[in-house]
A and B are shown apart, each in its own frame.
Chain A
């Protein structure tokens, strides 16, 4: 492979990693993480839908101290 192709591949890799980091940091991928954990550990139990999961996640997050002065 040419060095230009390698560079493009490396850039793609960085962009993908940056996007994944941004999604994880913002919580955009929280439902996917929950779904894969559910599939791995609680296969038989009911899986929450996206909306239900989001509402529950927000309720839990804001029941404790999550923002500071």
Chain B
């Protein structure tokens, strides 16, 4: 009875809040409406839709022994309490994606992003994560690629491997570009972020040599060290001579990030990667909780309109209409194919009961989606003029502050040079113009929220805390992505020549690390020299690749559902798959064929080539134009490749599904045979 009452209250509250958001079109709306709508929608999705999918579609069976129980080795296979698996899984899936994507998509207004985050998560992302988690749990924790190979054949598995490797490259490039934009000409940010490297190494030595495995002690030590670095950075910023030592250009920072990525890939993990991850996870969880509390306490007004004129495709952050680009820009937070790799990685080996997949798979993704909502709130509570001044590249709005405010005010979003100067001063920065990539404007938004909650006097400290939080987070993902990319390169090279596949053979380690770092380093370099900021090209490409991976995961899920005789329920994964296929293909088609140089990659390359030939470019732009032209064509070919892989996997799944429906032979199911769980009966006996 009580449960029903709660359900009704949630439904009414959620409907009221969503209705409020949708109808509040011409007056400022409070962020609390969005928070309420989001929480109600997630809880309804979790209580109704997820419960139905778990029981009917996936036929979750608590009496069935999970691989954690059957293959328990005390290490990676280990029955673990669901609250802990939830924490592990959430920490693994929550990266910088849900912070950056919604910030960029805020150029369309707050409404398109909010609706896509909520609907996409409840019907797409959460469903994908939960389904893949269960399918992998039923297959001894096999990876997505292995499941594709087992259930559909070697070709599908190979396509999944190539797709994943390409995503790693694009992801690492775009994240490193965001880091560079955060640190360029900001001595406070650069010195703090640089100091996190020795801090991580000290923690690494502590955990490996001085107090092996005492993770909590090491984490506390590391957090104290980086907070000292943060405050020290503020002090350093006021010392003219020291300040100059940490004032770097984008190109210098790009060289540093590339060298750092290479080192992180070849050094022992305990020295740099693992301790950095402990610090990053701690900061991530702490900051997300702090942000949620601060938003509820301050309940700020949203200043961005519900929908801006940029839905027509003329947006300054990136070109393209709201359909399909809002669905590409916000991947993580609504649906992210990358999660399927985690859901078929560590987590299924820890699940102690199949019943836990709802909390771990669906619940973690709902929480991740909530992080995206908070990022959207932090971006849209800024004055729109300020938001665009921070996020629009110099190539779009003009290189001088006067030109930028003139252009932006002309769009109907008033902003002045003085306003931007005062804001930069209060944040302890020289300038905030053209800090593209989303992270700086998110930091300004977060600093405003934290400042209103915990004291305005510390705005500059909060801003740099947010910057450091984002940078630590981004670098941790970059480390891990580069290392995994290195293993994938070794896996591929090992097929050509066996010694190259040996992960402990040092020449192969160095060579494959150089290959992967060189690949993302190339895109980073191009992004840095691009006068439009580079993120405008790389982020949509990342979105397309991530949605392609989600479509691969949903194809595998749909195919397995059909193969296991559940065709009538296959719509739960088929509908989000169809939507992603349409969105991704449309976006890729437009990126390839559009005649508008702000959208079409070939059009942009041709436009630049014509200007170069006509001598219409300034000498600086003319110098980099040939590289930009080549890169835009390369990006177009990549978009084609992603689309080809996507349709290849979909058609392969369709072929197997149709064969199964016609009663023809298909590869046998790779599901592990049923064995009764002793954990469950022991728990039941213990309870009775």
Binding site for B on A (CB under 8 A): 21-28, 30-31, 33-34, 36-38, 41, 49-51, 53-55, 57-69
Contacts and interface: CB of A to CB of B under 8 A. Distances in A.
A66 B342 contact: yes
A43 B484 CA distance: 35
Nearest to A35: B74
Contacts of B480: 62, 65-67
A47 B179 CA distance: 43
B278 A26 contact: yes
Would you list the 6 A-B pairs with minimal beta carbon distance, nearest first? A37-B74, A51-B212, A67-B480, A50-B212, A54-B213, A69-B97
B346 A69 contact: no
B93 interface: yes
B214 A28 contact: yes
B269 A62 contact: yes
Contacts of B175: 69
Contacts of A49: 212
Nearest to B100: A69
B273 interface: yes
Contacts of B274: 58, 61-62
B219 interface: yes
B87 A25 contact: yes
Contacts of A55: 208, 268, 270
A21 B80 CA distance: 11
B639 to A, nearest CB: 18
Given A23-B216, A26-B215, A58-B269, A33 B78 contact: yes
A3 to B, nearest CB: 27
A33 B76 contact: no
A30 B84 contact: no
A67 B341 CA distance: 9
Interface of B: 72-76, 78, 80-81, 83-84, 87-88, 92-97, 143, 171, 175, 207-209, 212-216, 219, 268-270, 273-274, 277-278, 331-332, 336, 338-339, 341-342, 345-346, 476-477, 480-481, 483-484, 487, 503, 542, 546
Q: Which of A51, A60, A63 has the most CB of B within 10 A?
A: A51
B95 A68 contact: yes
Contacts of A24: 80-81, 84
Contacts of B331: 69
A51 B342 contact: no
A68 to B, nearest CB: 5
Given A54-B207, A54-B212, A65 B74 contact: no
10 contacts: A27-B215, A34-B74, A34-B75, A37-B78, A38-B74, A41-B74, A50-B213, A54-B212, A66-B345, A69-B546
Nearest to B280: A67
**Max chain B Cβ within 10 angstroms of own Cβ: one of A23, A26, A38:** A26
A21 B213 contact: no
Nearest to B477: A67
B277 A67 contact: yes
A2 B430 CA distance: 63
A36 B74 CA distance: 8
Contacts of B332: 68-69
B213 A53 contact: yes
Contacts of A58: 269-270, 274
Contacts, number: 121
Contacts of A28: 213-216
A66 B214 CA distance: 20
B74 A67 contact: no
A58 B92 CA distance: 15
Contacts of B345: 64-66
A31 B74 CA distance: 9
A32 B339 CA distance: 30
Nearest to B271: A58
Contact of B75 (A50, A60, A65, A67): A60
Given A25-B88, A37-B73, A41-B74, A65 B341 contact: yes
A57 B212 CA distance: 12
Given A37-B72, A67-B476, A31 B213 contact: yes
Contact of B216 (A26, A31, A33): A26
Nearest to B473: A67
A51 B95 contact: no
B74 A62 contact: no
Given A21-B83, A28-B215, A62-B480, A67 B95 contact: yes
Contacts of A22: 216
A49 to B, nearest CB: 8
Contacts of B477: 67-69
Nearest to A50: B212
B481 A67 contact: yes
B61 to A, nearest CB: 25
B342 A68 contact: yes
Given A26-B278, A69-B97, A69-B338, A62 B273 contact: yes
B269 A68 contact: no
Contacts of A59: 268-270
Contacts of B72: 37
A8 to B, nearest CB: 25
Q: Which of A50, A51, A54, A65 has the most CB of B within 10 A?
A: A65
A25 to B, nearest CB: 4
Given A22-B216, A28-B214, A58-B270, A69 B209 contact: no
A62 B483 contact: yes
A37 to B, nearest CB: 3
B471 to A, nearest CB: 15
Contacts of B481: 67, 69
A31 to B, nearest CB: 5
Given A23-B216, A25-B84, A28-B215, A64 B270 contact: no
